[in-house]
Amino acid sequence: MYLLLSVLIQGPKHPGINIDIFLEPLIQEMETLWKEGIDIYDGFARQPFNLRAIIFVTIHDYQALFILSGQIKGRTGCTVCVDDTVSSFLEGSRKVVYLRYRRFLVEAHRYRNKKFYNHFDGNPEFRSTPDRRDGHYVFNMVRNVKVIYEKKKEDGKKRKRDKAPIEGVPFKKQSIFYKYLPYWADLEVRHAIDGMHLKKNVFGNTIGLLLETSVKTKDTYKSQ
């Protein structure tokens, strides 16, 4: 197994879904390594062999996950539920949150029946656990999504892509991985969150909450 740093984005801006333009040469080479392979020489065994390779996971933060997969973050930003995401918008903190996580509990769990406002969101949870959205399910949703990269407005400014091209499909594009890699839909985990960002953010927010620092705490007046 080898780790390959394919793209390093510097500065506060990112290319958005146009990242597929930069990745296309790499993905085309990976397609060749999957379908045909390349003949190379093994210096240890002292004999030639046909080398084949696959991309079995991408590692990045959440921002890059939505860029690579094309999924629209926010109200439909759950990578597990996808089109069955249940979200709420908090007016005070101006944030989208996912409060219906109790539906992942077993059907008879006592936490599903809490009706008091001092427990969870104050409502009982009767929804069942959503079915797993695997790679084939996602591919069937995005296979007809067509986008034009680097499309601009008449005044020369870039067009904002804050809505899905197809109504009801929470994706802005069909990922370039689906386009070139026939095995991509068969993978159990296609995009993974790197531990550095995850641990840093969780640790920073937790310590900020415990120490009541004004920068990192999430327990603010607006949030309450």
How confident is the model over 38-68, as pLDDT tens digits?
999 998 889 999 999 999 899 888 888 898 9
Confidence of residue 203 (pLDDT cuts 50, 70, 90): confident
Report which listed range, 107-121, 122-136, 149-163, is most confident: 122-136
Q: Within a 10 A sphere around the Cβ of 48, how many other Cβ atoms?
A: 10
**Closest by alpha carbon to 64, among 30, 23, 26?**
23
- pTM for the predicted model, two decimal places: 0.76
C-alpha span between 67 and 216 (Å, rounded): 26
Half-sphere exposure of 206 toward its Cβ, with a 13 Å CA cutoff? 6
**Are the C-beta atoms of 165 and 148 separated by less than 8 Å?**
no
Confidence of residue 155 (pLDDT cuts 50, 70, 90): low
CA distances from 41 to 50, 51, 132, 191 (A): 9, 9, 43, 32
Q: Is 180 exposed, middle or buried (0-12, 13-18, 19+ CB in 10 A)?
A: buried
**Are the C-beta atoms of 224 and 90 separated by less than 8 Å?**
no
On the question of pLDDT at 1 being above 90, the answer is no
C-alpha span between 224 and 222 (Å, rounded): 5
- Residue 157 phi, psi (nearest 5): -85, 155
Can you say how many angstroms the Cα of residue 87 is from the centroid of all Cα atoms in its chain? 16
Instruction: Give the least confident one: 13-17, 154-158, 196-200.
Output: 154-158
- Residue 58 phi, psi (nearest 5): -110, 145
Strands 88-90 and 191-193, how do they pair?
A: unpaired
Instruction: Give the least confident one: 140-154, 172-186, 197-211.
Output: 140-154
C-alpha span between 211 and 186 (Å, rounded): 45
List, in sequence order, every residue forming a beta bridge with 90; answer none if it has no partner.
95
Q: What dihedral angle (degrees, nearest 10) is formed by the CA atoms of 126, 131, 133, 139? A: -110
Half-sphere exposure of 210 toward its Cβ, with a 13 Å CA cutoff? 5
Instruction: Give the least confident one: 80-89, 127-136, 193-202.
Output: 193-202
Q: What percent of the chain has pLDDT over 90?
A: 24
E strands of 85-157, at which residues? 88-90, 95-97
